[in-house]
Amino acid sequence: MATAIDVPPGQAVLEAENLSVYYGSSAAIRNISIRIPENRVVAFIGPSGCGKSTLLRCFNRMNDLVPGARIEGAVRYRGADLYAPGVDPVEVRRRIGMVFQRPNPFPKSIYENVAFGPRINGYRGDLDALVERSLRQAALWDEVSDRLHESALALSGGQQQRLCIARALAVEPDVLLMDEPASALDPIATQKIEDLIYELKKSYTVIIVTHSMQQAARVSDYTAFLYMGELIEYGPTDLIFTNPRVERTEAYITGRFG
């Protein structure tokens, strides 16, 4: 059973209630209830296979794409049921964007990578301005402004990841989900991603899955510790790391297992 130091009522952007996810007959997460506050960074930590990414993907219905996956319980976005009949998963993923573990730029120019989403969504504003704004938000504009029409695949790994963040921001989401966004990057690129996450929370709600407890401690406001598909503890990051209420949380953070 989780010891949840919950966010104040009325401030949750996303909320899961008694959420379980099954792949076939196997439960990946069980009876998780959690509320995600606005304009904060929330980190999901825990050992490999504990359900961090499964929980993350529930918030923009990416698990819909996994054969045999089914959910029980509720997931709400600003009070609306994300899994209600008639809800368009494509619209969900526009409002709740996602950045994956490994950079996955399209084999197109830098410009076209960022412009792709707005174009297919029928954006009618100044596309050049939107591309520039998105690249600036992703702290990449100064590095690529003179080569926008070169291939995105020529960028470094860290630049590609920031480009993928710019691509997600270009469709003007409300929430950004990040599934271990720096795990494939070198320390310098990781630092840039972490600095970027800190800046993004001024305008967005960010949820990050990370295998690094140090990263969670550096970038997040709230931390959720998952173990074997259950939410063990959730609360302000400083308390989770300095004064956890659950012995299993302390054992994980201090390296006694995991």
Tens-digit pLDDT profile for residues 83-105:
999 999 999 999 999 999 899 99
For residue 9, is pLDDT > 90?
Answer: no
Over 80: is that where the pLDDT of 11 sits? no
Q: Which CATH superfamily is domain 4-253 in?
A: P-loop containing nucleotide triphosphate hydrolases (3.40.50.300)
pLDDT at 99 (0 to 100): 94
Residue 29, pLDDT score: 97
Instruction: Find the length of the chain.
Output: 258
Q: Which of 236, 258, 237 is nearest to 248 (CA)?
A: 258
CA distance 239 to 41: 15
Among 11, 56, 81, CA closest to 206: 56
Q: What is the pLDDT of residue 2?
A: 47
The partner residues of 253 in beta bridges, in order of sequence, read none
pLDDT higher than threshold 90 for residue 154 = yes
More confident residue, 10 or 135: 135
Mean pLDDT of the chain: 93
The answer to whether residues 211 and 31 touch, using CB atoms and an 8 Å cutoff, is no
Residue bearing the bigger pLDDT, 232 or 7 = 232
